[in-house]
A and B are shown apart, each in its own frame.
Chain A
Amino acid sequence: MRGKILLIEDDKDTQDVYTEVLTDAGYTVDLAPDGVVGLKKAQEGGYDLLLLDLMMPNMDGLQFLEQIKKSPPKSKNGPIIVLTNVSQDSIVQKSLDLGAAAYFIKASLNPDQLLKEVRSFLLEPEAK
């Protein structure tokens, strides 16, 4: 199954749940605990999907999106989905403007809904 996912997330609980759910579903999950590590890994490229938190230490999600836009990865990555608990319209819009393919509120998304979204993006990465 095609599916190498980079999870950029600082919250330990979220890391554990998402890693378990995605691994159980057969995906390979690579974890980055903040934007700086996330950017380093993302710039190596080769991920089918990136799951990006916004509020993180060292480099937040919006900064990550700006940086990855400025210096694209060596080999292409799949779409970036923002998964956060921040929901201001301006921030939603900014992350979409900076190239995120979708935006979900973690508190409103249970694990099977997350899986459903991940599947739809991995099946047709250009569709959304």
Chain B
Amino acid sequence: MNFFKKLFNRKGYETEELLYLLSQVMASSLTFKVLTQNILEIIKEKLHVAKVGIIVSDTKGNTLREVAPGWQTPYSTPKEKNIALVIELKTNHRTVGSLILSGKSTREKFSSQDIKMLNILAPEFAVAIENTLSYEEIKQFNETLQTEIKNATDELRQANSRLLELDRLKDEFISIASHDLRTPVSAVKNFLWLTINKESKLAPKVRDNLQRAYNAADRTAMLISDMLDVSRIEGRRLEVRKVPVDLAKAFSEIREDIDVKAKAKKINLLLDCPANTTVLTDPNKLLQIINNLIDNAIKFTPIGGKVEVTTKLKDSKIMVSVSDTGIGIAKEDLPKLFTKFGRLHSSLSSVSEVPGTGLGLYITKKMLDILGGTIEVTSEVNKGTTFTFTLEKG
């Protein structure tokens, strides 16, 4: 400021006030519009100029922006004959544009003081204008970025809701399809059952054929149930409700269900559980797990063998073991035992008669995972297999 003071105070020109006002404006105006308006107002008022304008151009001289209230445009037209002074607005690097001034309203000429001052101020204006343009560019970029982020988020949101809708449709399809498949399968099973069990005059060959048809329909029903379980497990829709369950009572229910199968193969089925053993689990899933393991044990145990279910307490867990005197599982087959469709190749030839979906142990393992239990297997070929799983003590 002292420099300007020395330079301009000779004629008592109100330089200080002018410079103060302009420096204030340049420091505080963020946008191009506000900055230029303020600069033009101050110059117009303090220098008594009729019309002032700022034209911003690119490096090739093309006009980018202009703030020129009251001017006839373009300025080169014959109508606009009032341009008295043009000051180039130039930073260190480039020409930003120009400041155009008409004659003074007092009809005086521009003094050398005026021109000197404007020439000194011109680079300051240029820098300030360039700053506002950069600021606007950044602001614009920021807005573009925000719009793009918003668009991308919207797209993701839409994609997500489409996926959710698809998932819902898939669930709906599976449940309707399974219901609609089960209904005719039930009818086939039931009518075959009625025929086999109520008709005494069937020829042995016919009876055998009908029985095989019934078994196939029954396997279809099992497969549908297993597929539904798998779809629920993989869609994380398997719901469990843990409640205290009397294990001995559960065993007696299971015995009722499975005794017929054991008797049919003359298998000695032993279920041992100390009275008052309470476990914390989902009763339906527990029945399914034990049923599945005993069912497997009976399937793979030769006629006259033994299947034994025992329980013991270990580290606040109840361990339930299902042992059989069956064909056993080869060591190399153990790892794929709990995988989907993991029926074992090496034993397939000998058990191809055994019905099953190959999903049972996979479902059992996943259900135990969800219930917070574990399952392990030990086996010896031609001696037997033992599955041991854990339940939470109630």
Contact = CB atoms under 8 A, between A and B. Distances in A.
Interface string A15-54: 0010011001000000000000000000000000000000
A108 B221 contact: yes
A85 B194 contact: no
A110 interface: yes
B197 A111 contact: yes
Interface stretch (B20-28, B64-72, B182-190): B182-190
Nearest to B183: A85
A75 interface: no
Contacts of A24: 198
A14 B187 contact: yes
Contacts of B189: 107, 110
Contacts of A92: 284
Given A17-B191, A107-B185, A110-B189, A93 B178 contact: no
Contacts of A93: 239, 241
B224 interface: yes
Nearest to A89: B239
Contacts of B175: 86, 88
Given A14-B187, A86-B175, A89-B238, A106 B194 contact: no
A110 B224 contact: no
B5 interface: no
A124 interface: no
Nearest to B179: A85
Contact of B225 (A11, A13, A17, A87): A87
A107 B182 contact: yes
A87 B190 contact: no
Contacts of B193: 110-112
Interface residues of A, number: 24
A51 to B, nearest CB: 14
B191 A105 contact: no
Contacts of B182: 85, 105-107
Of A21, A86, A106, A107, most buried by chain B (CB within 10 Å of CB) is A107
B238 A105 contact: no
Interface string A62-106: 000000000000000000000011111110110000000000011
Contacts of A87: 178, 225, 228
Nearest to A85: B182
Nearest to A12: B187
Contact of A110 (B190, B238, B284): B190
Contacts of B197: 111-112
Contacts of B187: 11, 13-14, 17
A13 B187 CA distance: 6
B263 interface: no
A51 B197 CA distance: 23
A55 interface: yes
Contacts of A111: 190, 193-194, 197
Given A13-B191, A86-B179, A108 B238 contact: no
Contact of B194 (A21, A84, A88, A108): A21
B234 to A, nearest CB: 15
B232 interface: yes
B322 to A, nearest CB: 21
A112 B175 CA distance: 27
Contact of A107 (B186, B198, B237, B238): B186
Nearest to A90: B239
Interface of B: 175, 178-179, 182-183, 185-187, 189-191, 193-194, 197-198, 218, 221-222, 224-225, 228, 232, 237-239, 241, 284
- What are the 7 closest A-B residue pairs judged by CB atoms, nearest first? A85-B182, A13-B187, A107-B182, A89-B239, A107-B221, A17-B190, A107-B186
30 contacts: A11-B183, A11-B187, A13-B183, A13-B190, A14-B186, A17-B190, A17-B194, A20-B194, A21-B194, A24-B198, A85-B182, A87-B178, A87-B228, A88-B232, A89-B232, A89-B237, A90-B239, A93-B241, A106-B182, A106-B186, A107-B182, A107-B186, A107-B225, A108-B222, A108-B225, A110-B190, A110-B193, A111-B194, A111-B197, A112-B193
Interface of A: 11, 13-14, 17, 20-21, 24, 55, 84-90, 92-93, 105-108, 110-112
Given A87-B178, A90-B239, A105-B225, 8 more contacts: A13-B187, A13-B190, A14-B187, A17-B190, A17-B191, A85-B186, A107-B221, A111-B194
